Amino acid sequence: MDGSIDWTPTLAQVLGLGVGATALMDLWLMGLRRAGVATLDFALLGRWAGHLPRGRWRHEAIARALPVRGERALGWFVHYAVGLLFATLLLAWQGPAWLEAPRLAPALLLGLATVTAPLLVMQPAMGAGLAGRRKGPVAPNVLRSAANHLVFGLGLYLSALALQLLRVAA
Check if the beta carbon of residue 157 is closer than 8 Å to that of residue 102.
Answer: yes
d(CA 128, CA 148): 18
pLDDT band for position 96 (50/70/90)?
confident
pLDDT of amino acid 9: 61
pTM, two decimal places: 0.90
Segment 32-90, tens digit of pLDDT:
999 999 898 999 999 999 999 999 989 999 999 999 999 999 999 999 999 999 999 99
Position 91 pLDDT exceeds 90: yes
d(CA 144, CA 38): 10
pLDDT of amino acid 3: 56
**Across 139-165, average pLDDT:** 96
Would you report the helix, strand and coil content of the chain in percent, each value rounded to 5?
75, 0, 25
d(CA 150, CA 156): 10
Q: What percent of the chain has pLDDT over 70?
A: 94
Position 137 pLDDT exceeds 70: yes
Write down how long the chain is: 170
pLDDT of amino acid 168: 78
Position 134 pLDDT exceeds 70: yes
d(CA 32, CA 52): 29
d(CA 141, CA 125): 16
The 3-state secondary structure of 49-99, one letter per residue: HHHHHHCCCCCCCHHHCCCCCCHHHHHHHHHHHHHHHHHHHHHHHHCCHHH
pLDDT of amino acid 112: 97
Average pLDDT of the chain is: 92
